[in-house]
Structure 1
């Protein structure tokens, strides 16, 4: 069963390639640049998602597509029309790939979506559920939802099996962006004004997300369903920093600043989104994933944070 993985040079896509290869699944890794580490997967250069280019060579002879390529969420997007830019890649590009996949005889399309389809935050103790009414608020989340809607319509017309996986923040070895920034500040021993944040946030270790994506390639009950995923260990921002500092072998120098002050400070410097990420709650309910697929996390948060921290320390020591 040949599986095509798009976005194979990315954080998630490359890990999916490695795991499928480890499981002796034939894999064709598709990315615009040659990936560094994709196990035994064969590599092919993929077209730009936003151009609607020809995917025939990439898809030939394949049975399953894991679509991890995307125009990713950008904290400070400089596009003249961010929604249109996201739509071109994440909506139209995805649907064109899926249409060509149908023509190539692909039977299942696993779409790496985003928890932003559900929304940006939850009330404390009221997690998002997989089949709740989506409420995206930013261009990235809107583009992902529109892709999901289009894929469902395509599945109804053609019989293509589609699976939607909506991860929250993903972390693991090689993680970048804000998570890497947190590790950098903790290693430097810098005081952080995050010692009094009592929110709850769901995260997912890369190993847990990849295990679920691999299961969704083959599980009969995954077809035409949406699934949420997490480590099933929700933490506050304060707790996360303490756990991460412990994994790094550093003290957590956390100053107990009231969250409302952090939100106001973020707004004053034009970073309201950052204040929200640090102080708001975002929890997900994975009970559907557990019950329908029999899935459970394969690594604990403690183990995954340790692996992430060890990789960061080894990399920065070079």
Structure 2
């Protein structure tokens, strides 16, 4: 199958490309390139068969020629980016996504796999059973609201000829050629490894489900290739039931891996309202051939091994190369992009 992956030059993209190519598919990547330079060479990752440099807001019908399915990753990717300008998050994450979906439907592309997020559950916390796909949504950030709005817009487009699938991914972790340390597992490991101290500014009680990016990629392959009756118009929480943790528990796991590290739960930032446990039973039973494989324990070992191998080199793990908000701020400050983070034409 000929698959278009948007946002392929991000953190998840290299795993997504590899998963689809290993499954025998032809892959086209489409990305504006904000994070192209945030790369660490790793063996085993290959580029897409074709690449289109394009802002997702500017995709045309011509970009969708010879495409049979779309995996839509491109987005302003987490809560801090929403603080730049919530309207910009809406324009890129929702408006551009729905415009792309409309073009895909007009082009006869049936399967549209959308990278949504478990953050849409927001404040579900530990009240009652873990949230399944029918649970009440409680988005508490511009990022989470953009995912809710996009799901609703895609659902309105769905019919017998257009099959959106909503992949509600848990918080991502794991090593990537475009590594990030602004995600909870990596961030805690980064602080512990480089300073010897992990400081949790909340009280440590909020729940976070986590998922390895390799499992995210495998779930998308299953969603693209599954029969329509199995997935069309449906949402799937992507992760493992035993990967629901309180922030304190993630930090304690890291300390167990780095025994010289000291853990401090300061509580100075107050309680974090974003707290949600999630059920992943549906994906495990209904996505053909998919089972999430990566545990927190295994993922911590992978990240620590990456750090011990010296991949940070001269870079601080809190530098723009590993923190998406800082990279966008750098592009703005250097005037590579304008106030709407559109790439400026060369002088």
Tell me if TM exceeds 0.5: yes
Moved more, 64-73 or 17-26: 17-26
- Hey, what's the Cα distance between the residues in 1 that align with 2:201 and 2:144? 27
In structure 2, stretches of 5+ residues that fail to align are: 315-347
Hey, what does 1:291 align to over in structure 2?
A: 285
Equivalenced residues, count: 297
Paired residues for 1:10-89 under 5 Å: 10-33=10-33, 39-49=46-56, 51=57, 53-75=58-80, 77-79=82-84, 81-82=85-86, 84-89=87-92
- Secondary structure at the residue paired with 1:45? strand
**Maintained 8 Å contact 1:205/1:231:** no
CA shift at 1:138, angstroms?
2.1
CA shift at 1:70, angstroms?
0.6
**Maintained 8 Å contact 1:231/1:301:** no
Hey, what does 1:203 align to over in structure 2?
A: 210
CA shift at 1:195, angstroms?
11
- Secondary structure at the residue paired with 2:99? helix
**Maintained 8 Å contact 2:255/2:261:** yes
CA shift at 1:293, angstroms?
2.2
Hey, what does 1:167 align to over in structure 2?
A: 169
CA shift at 1:75, angstroms?
2.0
Report whether the alignment pairs 1:140 with 2:146. no
**Maintained 8 Å contact 2:240/2:292:** yes
Hey, what does 1:230 align to over in structure 2?
A: 239
- Secondary structure at the residue paired with 2:285? helix
* CA 94–235 in structure 1, closer or farther in 2 if over 3 Å, else same: same
CA shift at 1:191, angstroms?
5.3
| CA displacement 1:173-210 (0-9 Å, x = unmatched) | 02321433322221121253579745543111112111
Report whether the alignment pairs 1:253 with 2:249. no
- Hey, what's the Cα distance between the residues in 1 that align with 2:49 and 2:4? 10
* CA 110–238 in structure 1, closer or farther in 2 if over 3 Å, else same: same
**Maintained 8 Å contact 2:198/2:251:** no
| Higher strand residue share | 2
Report whether the alignment pairs 1:153 with 2:148. no
TM-align CA RMSD: 2.6
- Hey, what's the Cα distance between the residues in 2 that align with 1:283 and 1:78? 25
Higher relative contact order (CA 8 A, sep 6+): 2
- Hey, what's the Cα distance between the residues in 2 that align with 1:97 and 1:166? 19
- Hey, what's the Cα distance between the residues in 2 that align with 1:195 and 1:316? 27
**Maintained 8 Å contact 1:124/1:199:** no
**Maintained 8 Å contact 2:130/2:276:** yes
* CA 148–281 in structure 1, closer or farther in 2 if over 3 Å, else same: closer
- Hey, what's the Cα distance between the residues in 1 that align with 2:154 and 2:81? 29
- Hey, what's the Cα distance between the residues in 2 that align with 1:301 and 1:317? 25
- Secondary structure at the residue paired with 2:187? helix
In structure 1, stretches of 5+ residues that fail to align are: 268-274
Report whether the alignment pairs 1:3 with 2:3. yes
Hey, what does 1:300 align to over in structure 2?
A: 295
- Hey, what's the Cα distance between the residues in 2 that align with 1:195 and 1:63? 45
CA shift at 1:41, angstroms?
1.5
Report whether the alignment pairs 1:281 with 2:283. no
- Hey, what's the Cα distance between the residues in 1 that align with 2:234 and 2:150? 14
